[in-house]
Structure 1
Amino acid sequence: MAPLSRPLTEASPVADRYRHVRATSRDLGAPLSDADATVQSMPDASPAKWHLAHTTWFFETMVLKPHLPDYEVFDESFNYLFNSYYETIGERQPRPRRGMITRPHLDTVFAYRDHVDAAVETLLDRAASPDVAELVELGCHHEQQHQELLLTDILHLFDQSPLKPAYRDPQPLGIAEDPGEARFISFDGGIVEIGHGGGSFAFDCEGPRHEALLEPYGLADRLVTNGEFMAFIEDGAYANPLLWLSAGWADILANKWDKPFYWQKRDGEWWTMTLRGAQPVDPNAPVTHLSYFEADAFATWAGKRLPSEFEWENAAAGLSMDGNFAGSGRLRPKPAAPGEGLRQMFGDVWEWTRSPFSPYPRFKPVEGAVGEYNGKFMCGQFVLRGGSCATPEGHIRATYRNFFPPDARWQFSGLRLAEDV
């Protein structure tokens, strides 16, 4: 995580943002029982209880302990239980064993949140310095990342249950209108500016702003749909090694992939698990829960390719960031609405790019424990852009760089095609 690109002043609305973000997390946890919030469904996921406590631990550890002299730690054991990967802070519960944290109870985690919230309010009421306000805003964006992870991890957990429970009311949605054939919009090549330019919040990996050289390219005006991916499956693509990167083909053989994550056949029809329970697959909605390998193979099958993250950012610059985000309550990707120009650039699904997650020129992690956030993961990951139906509003930017390993499938990840011009 990076410092803000400009110092905050006492007039900044950081306190209001803090209250909103913290209340949103509480609302996300409200439908869950203590058992729901404790179980860890796989090593890559974390229990909801852990997300709710870890984000609170961040404020306690990074903001309150250094900056509020009379602060009383809620529970000393939480530093071990809810640290994530901050080596400079100390030992922690191993990530694959977070589900063993059966105690504290979820009610205690909410009491912990109340305790820390009151202390942060006290600190902000004391006309906190710009450095403190900056840390609080940083913590808010960090918590919004965990809000999305809480949703994707609960979806994975509930999919493992034989009951296939719904996180939210299992409201069925009708099949949407066919969005029509994708059209490609051309962009000139040349030297373009990439990265965050300052003036508002950004994570450290979004900068420094720098120049990149692009060849002329085309970008599809909408996301790839479930129906288009069904054609890929029906054409035997999962059995054709010529479409796949070597590591992706190895994953197919090892894991028997033959469809997107969460898909299953019922009476000859495709169904998928959603945060509103099991639902029929809408052929006109964007395909999601794909690995990088599946996205790349589909692009090869279609005679196209994935965009680079620089191509994506160049195309997205200046566009409205309206989209189907978590606050809409839909919690599922939405079919493209009729219109001209680029659609679905923000929200619905994270879009895989062909770019590895690596540092921009002149990148340097910030000093101290908060510098352990992005730089240490710049190896073996690919960049995704645009946000998803589980991303909080106000958390996404055209310069935002999400990243996951190429075999990750449980996130709301899909694709948009690109082509050379």
Structure 2
Amino acid sequence: MVLTDSLLDFFLETREHTENLCRPLETEDYVVQPIVDVSPPKWHLGHSTWFFEEFILKAHAPEYRLFDEDFAFVFNSYYETVGKRVVRSDRGNLSRPSVEKIYAYRRYVTEVIKTLFQNHRPKAWYDLLEIGVHHEKQHQELLLTDIKYILGNNPLLPKYSTDFEEHAIESHSRDWISMSEGIYEIGHHSDCFCYDNELGRHKVYLQPYQIANTLVTNKDFIAFVEDGGYQKFELWHADGWDWVNQQRITAPLYWHHINGIWHHYTLKGLQEIDNNAPLTHISYYEAFAYAQWKGCRLPTEFEWEAAQVLFTWGRRWEWTESAYLPYPDYKKADGALGEYNGKFMVNQKVLRGGSVATPKNHTRATYRNFFQPPLRWQFTGLRLAK
């Protein structure tokens, strides 16, 4: 990546957008952490700033002065190479530093990077700045979904915004796309940015298959619920069946059955479910069980990537049947950035596509998201295959 004004603009636009996502919040909303998977909004603001400070300024700007010596401990997420950190489940206990101080921290780091790049443009920073921007974009998506979980578990079900539209409806009719057996190339293959888990490009052999050109809708899944899908053990993996019973799961996350009508919490508040909108906030377990109920299956990530030019994607992260594993010739980066993806390649499922929470310029056909099977606070849906 050659540093140009556009990269610096990309950085500044990204920093601004993160803060714009927080504008509808009350100060009290910034600190809440209902579950371990959700981080308080103010932690996201601080962590995405610490990333630039730690990997660019501390490493490559000898005269840089830390904003606060404690912030590396507070805002390190999982980088063992960097040092000790606050336990993830304790992020909600951080009443200090204040929201005001964290915004001051953001301004401080942003201005230092802006000034240094404008004056020096050191080549050693090019790739680091780019990955830092995309790292913050990942946190924008997490921030929005974490805010939804925080507000969606508030007994008052407050609105986040009247402008955010979660439920774009697919207008084309449902059909099956037939894919021929053969050898397909998988993985990133351009000079544009990608993460290391999208490399290296390799060939896979696929049997003939069909994949749906649309996502499963709320109406589709309501039929599964009303047919007793959550009570039919034969549809579920053993782990999924244990999860359903132990957690007493009877519907997707945020669904509420009120006076015989299905509602769900959205970022616009509690609303009656739109039957035609794509289903969201389901676990891999639920996606698998629904596919079984339909006499179908989930596509593998390779089937998804081979066919993606033939359907519209990006409204939901789509569960696949693939375990999150390294591609052939995958190599972790040296140092702390080598912890970014590689150490999570166990006990997780791959999701493909993107979602309504994914920021612009941050997804592509080879992007590999990954989560544990029971998680569903992200905008997760499914597409059938057979």
Distance 1:177 1:144 in 2: 25
Partner of 2:325: 358
More displaced stretch, 129-138 vs 179-188: 179-188
Distance 1:82 1:305 in 2: 40
Partner of 1:371: 338
CA distances 1:298-334 after superposition (whole Å, capped 9, x unpaired): 0011011100000111112xx4xxxxxxxxxxxxxxx
Q: 3-state SS of the aligned residue for 2:79?
A: coil
* Structure 1 counterpart of 2:357, one-letter code: A
* Structure 1 counterpart of 2:346, one-letter code: C
Partner of 1:239: 231
* Structure 1 counterpart of 2:11, one-letter code: Y
Partner of 2:207: 215
Distance 2:202 2:51 in 1: 31
Distance 1:18 1:122 in 2: 13
* Structure 2 counterpart of 1:303, one-letter code: G
Distance 1:296 1:67 in 2: 47
Partner of 2:110: 117
Matches within 5 A, 1:121-160: 121-160=114-153
Partner of 1:190: 182
Distance 2:35 2:168 in 1: 33
* Structure 1 counterpart of 2:355, one-letter code: S
Q: CA deviation at 1:171?
A: 8.0
* Structure 2 counterpart of 1:30, one-letter code: R
Q: CA deviation at 1:396?
A: 0.2
Q: Give the conservation status (yes or no) of the 8 Å contact 1:179–1:284.
A: no
Q: Give the conservation status (yes or no) of the 8 Å contact 1:124–1:133.
A: no
Kindly indicate whether residue 199 of structure 2 is the aligned counterpart of residue 199 of structure 1.
Answer: no
Q: CA deviation at 1:89?
A: 0.7
Partner of 2:306: 314
Q: CA deviation at 1:182?
A: 2.3
Partner of 1:412: 379
Distance 1:367 1:342 in 2: 37
Q: Give the conservation status (yes or no) of the 8 Å contact 1:263–1:273.
A: yes
Question: What is the RMSD of the two structures over their aligned residues, measured on CA atoms?
Answer: 1.7
Distance 2:357 2:277 in 1: 15
* Structure 1 counterpart of 2:258, one-letter code: R
* Structure 2 counterpart of 1:83, one-letter code: N
Q: Give the conservation status (yes or no) of the 8 Å contact 1:54–1:84.
A: yes
User: 2:243 is matched with which residue: 251, 260, 275?
Assistant: 251
Partner of 1:385: 352
Q: Give the conservation status (yes or no) of the 8 Å contact 1:385–1:400.
A: yes
Matches within 5 A, 1:261-410: 261-316=253-308, 319=309, 342-343=311-312, 345-346=313-314, 348-410=315-377
CA distances 1:63-118 after superposition (whole Å, capped 9, x unpaired): 11111122111000101000000001111000001001101111111110000001
Q: 3-state SS of the aligned residue for 1:80?
A: helix
Distance 1:172 1:29 in 2: 16
* Structure 2 counterpart of 1:380, one-letter code: N
Q: CA deviation at 1:172?
A: 9.3
Paired residues in the alignment total 386
Q: CA deviation at 1:199?
A: 0.6
Q: Rate the CA distance shift 1:141–1:95 in 2: closer, same or farther, 3 A.
A: same
* Structure 1 counterpart of 2:142, one-letter code: L
Q: Rate the CA distance shift 1:260–1:35 in 2: closer, same or farther, 3 A.
A: same
Partner of 1:44: 37
Partner of 2:65: 72
Q: Give the conservation status (yes or no) of the 8 Å contact 2:169–2:278.
A: no
* Structure 2 counterpart of 1:97, one-letter code: D
Q: CA deviation at 1:170?
A: 7.2
Q: Rate the CA distance shift 1:171–1:137 in 2: closer, same or farther, 3 A.
A: closer
Q: CA deviation at 1:181?
A: 5.8
More displaced stretch, 178-187 vs 123-132: 178-187
CA distances 1:140-179 after superposition (whole Å, capped 9, x unpaired): 0000000010111111111121111111127899x99895
Matches within 5 A, 1:165-176: 165-169=158-162
Q: Rate the CA distance shift 1:130–1:214 in 2: closer, same or farther, 3 A.
A: farther
User: 1:101 is matched with which residue: 94, 111, 116?
Assistant: 94
* Structure 2 counterpart of 1:116, one-letter code: V
Q: Rate the CA distance shift 1:202–1:314 in 2: closer, same or farther, 3 A.
A: same
Distance 1:178 1:202 in 2: 28
